[in-house]
Amino acid sequence: MFLRKQLASLLFFASILFVSVSAPLSAQSAAQPAAPSVFGYGDFTAQAKIEEKFLAVPDAKQAGEELKILTAEPHLASSPEDHKTAEYVARKFRAAGLDTEIVPFRVLLNQPRVVRVEAYDASGKQLMSGPTREHVEGDPFQDDPRVVMPFNGSSGSGDVTAEVVYANYGRLEDFDQLAARHIDLHGKIVLARYGGNFRGVKVYIAEKRGAAGVLIYSDPQDDGFTKGDAYPDGPWRPETGVQRGSVQFMFEYPGDPETPGVASTLDLPDSARVSPYGSQPHIISIPISYHDASPILQAMQGPGVPPGWQGGLGFRYHIGAAEGQGTVKVHLVSQQDYQRRIIWDVIGKIKGTEYPDDWVVIGNHRDAWVYGAVDPSSGTAAMLEAVHGIGALLKQGWRPRRTIVFCSWDAEEEGLVGSTEWVEQNAKALERAAAYFNMDVGVAGPDFSAAAVPSLKQFIRELTHSVPSPLGGTVFQQWRIKSAGENEHRRSNAPPEPGEEVHVGDLGSGSDFTPFLQHIGVPSADISSGGPYGVYHSVFDNYAWFVQNADPKFEFLQEMARVFGLEALRMADADVLPYDEVAYARSISYYIDAAKRRAADQGLSLDFSAAQAAVTRLSAAAQHIHGLQAAATGDLARLNATLRQAETDLTNGAGLPNRPWFKHTIYAPGEFTGYAAVVIPGVNEALDSKDQPRAAQQLMVLTQALDRAAQTLEGAR
Ligand SMILES: [Zn+2]
């Protein structure tokens, strides 16, 4: 507590130093003291008053109470407790005046019946038998009988015994190192640590290389005692803590594995469903703690590990699986109960007065692996306080100009299921949606961060000037202090971007913005307030941990409620959609240049000139429309439709080669990274596989998309 206060005052003084640099807003507000100039608004005076009223409402104490209620019981997707949280959120939405419905879907989900792990050394001596129950001294939540045993969503079922091979993080380069050492994975069990990529990618590559099963454990080096004190003494992962999680191949397509591109409504006939193996592994995978992984790793022999593979446990790691060198065998049992189960999204609408068909969608998932205090309930509590604030405006007679749609998604953890099915159901209407704003891990600590499409990056930066930070000053000021430290470590080959005073990341996957952006082309953003967080997807991500480590006074919940609500308010009421197409063109230009250098490095002869000409044309068209947006006069409805169309123009109906569900030409989750974005994915993934004809064809697809967007923007009056 003392430390944090001291830090706050230090940061406050530091922020004063920055105030004069906080350029565009302060310069313009000096000339026009009553109303700062805000991009997208001709005159911001009236909106500034509305925002002020909104910002006064979200309440820290109430957010804390909402968090306590949401996390009172484990609420795995499709459980009775999950349904209770849906009803709670629906009641809150209705109390605020939102037109609310609970939207059910029937989707394929697994729940574990039996999960067992045993290990034996070369002499047949048993090394361990698990999984060991998650347990620490004094945690009040860990003993609830409804806590689901650690398992992987989308895991296969089976019973296998095989030699175990250590594969570090299970990244493509890790598997390639094993291959280079002639270690055959056929029929083996891969032991990989969490980190470095999405867990589904570990299983995906292991399966491709012939493995019979995967064990994924949390190494203390990555989120345990190497980082700092473990729970209950600190925020990091304790010895028995396990990261549950989905291993669905979400980079193929997310959502219900049986219905890609189709909504799994209750009346969808079974004949409309396809095999789930388009996005599901066949093999078993089981998540374990380092308490259970340690005896296996310690007994493994064979070659020593390459540099970077040694983890934080107190012995030398080995790859294992060298014939005759005392191999360790593991016995895995996984019985998964696959059923088509009911899940519940909660959807609350406020009809827009001027553009009722243009939706501003804002959402957060509600389901949790266990209690989910940080992931996702902190986001839900913040969303409920944003709804509280908007409800107060409604009671004073305010109505948004565009329709605002608040969404509480279900079954995000299993594979973005609730959001994907809803997006597939509403695909047509969403072609007009102005934006999708996501929050998942709302609050794990005090560090604000954001990721967005380039057209929304400046919008996010700008609105954080209006929200106070619990650390002093504004959210923007604190964000920039933090970001300045991080910038030193960023790659220097990125050209400096004007307005890039703080870094806004790119959207890959791993949360509910994926269907909006990457399937439909809705401009999207994601915000979070991070910190030391070692209990992700374990029983210990609960209210006791949250109050001790993340946000004891719930003031960051209040901050996130304000930022989240302001995203919706400012977008819904804008005269002109505040998309920064100039920034978009600049980013795309950078991506194309980088791909060109890669192709040259690989010795591929590819002609990038058409793509470069198209992005130059897009950039000029973006400058043209930027002027019209700033003037905010004339036929604004038409200008808005043009801006929105240009975002759709960046999608390609055919989708990516081999991944047709992913239709965006600029952003997709990586096939081998999962969470991290691959930019201009069609081109870059063709370069990854050194496939020159495909790269040329994908360059053409990209060029056509850029030309479409340029032509649309050029037509603006
Ligand atoms: Zn989450």
Spatial neighbors of 453 by CB under 8 A, at least 6 apart, are 507, 517, 523, 524, 525, 584, 647, 666, 667
Return the percentage of the chain with pLDDT > 70, whole number: 92
| pLDDT exceeds 70 at position 522 | yes
**For residue 670, what pLDDT is reported?**
87
Cα 320 to ligand 1 centre (Å): 34
Which of 200-235 are b and which e, b meaning 16 or more Cβ less than 10 Å from the residue's Cβ?
Answer: bbbbbbbbebebbbbbbbbbbbbbbbebeebbbeeb
- Per-residue pLDDT at 485: 65
In the structure, what pLDDT confidence band is assigned to residue 24 with cuts at 50, 70 and 90?
very low
Q: For residue 6, report the distance from its CA to the centre of ligand 1, in Å.
A: 31
The count of other CB atoms within 10 Å of the CB of residue 536 is 21
DSSP code per residue over 104-133: EEEEEEEEEEEEEEEEE-TT--EEEEEPPP
Kindly list the distances between the CA atom of residue 282 and the CA atoms of 204, 258, 278, 513, in Å, as whole numbers in the listed order.
10, 14, 10, 27
Distance 70 CA to ligand 1 centre (A): 14
Task: Give the number of other Cβ atoms within 10 Å of residue 690's Cβ.
Answer: 12
Enclosing H/E stretch for 383: helix 379-395
**Residue 497 CA, distance from chain mean position:** 24
Residues taking part in catalysis: 412, 609, 664
> Is residue 416 a contact partner of residue 515, using CB atoms and an 8 Å limit?
yes
Structure tokens at 553: 């006074």
Distance 246 CA to ligand 1 centre (A): 11
Buried b (16+ CB within 10 A) or exposed e, 404-425: bbbbbbbbbbbbbbbbbbbbbb
Distance 375 CA to ligand 1 centre (A): 5
User: Token pair for residue 315?
Assistant: 């012995």
Which range is least confidently modeled, 5-14, 54-63, 372-381, 681-690?
5-14
**pLDDT one-digit tens code per residue, 203-260:** 999 999 999 999 999 999 999 999 999 999 999 999 999 999 999 999 999 999 999 9
* Residue-wise pLDDT tens digits, 35-54: 678 999 999 999 999 999 99
- What are the two backbone dihedrals, phi and then psi, of residue 352, each rounded to the nearest 5 degrees? -75, 145
Q: What dihedral angle (degrees, nearest 10) is formed by the CA atoms of 491, 496, 498, 499?
A: 20
Taking the centre of ligand 1 as the mean of its atom positions, its distance from the CA of residue 617, in whole angstroms, is 39
Length of the chain: 717
pLDDT tens track for 410-443: 999 999 999 999 999 999 999 999 999 999 999 9
